[in-house]
Amino acid sequence: MEKILSFKDLGLSEATLEAIGKKGYETPSPIQALCIPRLLDGNKDVIGQAQTGTGKTAAFSLPIIDRLEKENNVQAIILAPTRELVIQVAEEISSLKGEKRLRVLPVYGGSNIMHQMKKLKDGIDIVVGTPGRVIDLLDRKKLILDKIKYFILDEADEMLNMGFIEDIENILNHTPKEKKMLFFSATMPKEILEIAKTYMKDYEILAVKNRELTTALTEQIYFEVTRENKFEALCRVIDIEKDFYGIIFCQTKNDVNDITLKLAERGYDADCIHGDVTQNQREKVLYKFKNQTINILVATDVAARGIDVNNLTHVINYSLPQEAESYVHRIGRTGRAGKEGTAITFVTPREYSKLLHIQKVAKTEIRKEKLPKIAEILKNKEDNFMELVESTAELQNYDSYRDLAKKLMEKNENSEELIAALLKISLGDELEADTYQEIEEYRGRRDSRDSRDSRDSRDRKDRRSREAHDHTLDGLTRLFIAKGNKDGLNVGQLVGLICAKAKIKRNLIKNAQVFEKFSFVSVPFNEAEMVIKAFQKEKVNEGKQSLIEKAKK
């Protein structure tokens, strides 16, 4: 294929090109260059093979926008596996349609179905939806697809993994035979090809070259750690970086909650998404992450579908995924838009053979590295802070602090002690080595044939760890906070708010939990009184209730 210099070379209309120009797009991605001309003028249906982050939404949206005109019926249906992806696709189409009066409607579970039915009655041209909600609207006869011109299946392999294949076939049976079909899939499982053979007239597979499907811009490394040392390893990986901005993937929602809580207790700006997080809170979390109000997102694979962020520095596999394809999906979220990224995987000795399998199937190399040492992390933090101070001094935008600086210097003859005190106020315990725990390098066997003595040793260590954790809860006071998720509060913000207002250390706040309308924390007896006193003027419910008070037994 000849090199494409611009979107104009693909055959798009002037109106669509103008809309693309306003979005700031200049050169089509490889999958866009392949798919757009075929969807504009080709007679065949298309299976496009491309992973997340390659611009596939625009690859199918632009031809649809270019060819459709406003009518009194649904002209295109786009199916996606998650609510996040549905919203993202709908927003992308709306932003690309420019002056065209095409009406786009996202439909998904957890949103008001009556509102969606009213919109459909008023007239919609393009519907983007999850299979479940689409079937619900079809069963109610509120969504009619018998005149559609385009049927798009996004993340087809993920649909398969989530058990949506029968739903897709159900929806296809409500559509006319004459329509243009496009399936997008990062991988090409045989079940997807079977559906294509059954429902597509004549199709071709358009796949970008292997170098585009793999993670050429992603450095892939792994650390071999025991299960009980994973969290400490995670903190070291985050802290060694100057500007960490990444997603941490876990297998279960319980792991997601546990890690997010621990990160917040250590002072990190982290939040999470998983299947039990409400749609309203999910949207708030993703908004904060995309705008970097928080720099760490902890997520399960399914919940992370549809997150479109191009400048991640890291993806961390806290838990190894079940399949090699999931590994590719995860790490494909970094190394985007021409920027290099790093994918880090924590591997327990028992998981080593699974890691080898992933490398083989994904045809990639994952390099082993040693975890950063405590001294190395502290030295990094010192260097970063010195660089920040020096750059601030060069800007000379601190005039309002000069008088205070002079007064401090006049009252304190020992400038070294004065600066040390100011650093302590500014950095807290950031440069204290005892904020980290020692991690012994694992030298045991790498497979599931661990000796009984080794297993017994780990079990004893786990019990000691749990007993130590339980002991820390003794002598604590449980506090009730009359605000929660609906007030835009997350664990990190809650811990930060209490520390700032009550002037207590983060490591004294335990077991922080944020629910929809209220929250809880546990702190030592003395600090509990400090917290209550610090917030005694903060009232809620029209001044009838204190924001923070002792939890009722």
Domains and CATH numbers, the chain: 7-212 (3.40.50.300), 215-372 (3.40.50.300), 390-435 (no CATH), 473-550 (3.30.70.330)
Q: Which residues of the chain have pLDDT under 70?
A: 1-5, 23-26, 51-54, 209-217, 305-306, 322, 335-339, 440-475, 553
Model pLDDT, residue 445: 46
Counted residue by residue, the chain has a size of: 553
Model pLDDT, residue 120: 94
Model pLDDT, residue 467: 36
Spatial separation of the C-alpha atoms in residues 531 and 527, rounded to whole Å: 6
Model pLDDT, residue 211: 41
**Pairing state between β 545-546 and 341-347:** unpaired
Q: Write the single-letter amino acid at 250.
A: C
What b/e readout covers 397-413, taking b as 16+ CB neighbours within 10 angstroms?
eeeeeeeeeeeeeeeee
Spatial separation of the C-alpha atoms in residues 144 and 140, rounded to whole Å: 10
Between the CA of residue 302 and those of 247, 277, 336, 492, 519, what are the distances in Å? 13, 12, 20, 23, 26
Model pLDDT, residue 468: 37
Model pLDDT, residue 339: 63
For residue 263, report the phi and psi dihedrals to the nearest 5 degrees. Answer: -65, -45
Read off the DSSP letter of residue 301: T
Model pLDDT, residue 306: 63
| Dihedral angle, C-alpha 61, 64, 68, 73, nearest 10 ° | -80
Two structure tokens written together for 549: 């008070």
pLDDT in tens, 363-405: 888 999 999 998 988 898 888 888 888 888 887 777 888 888 8
Spatial separation of the C-alpha atoms in residues 300 and 275, rounded to whole Å: 8
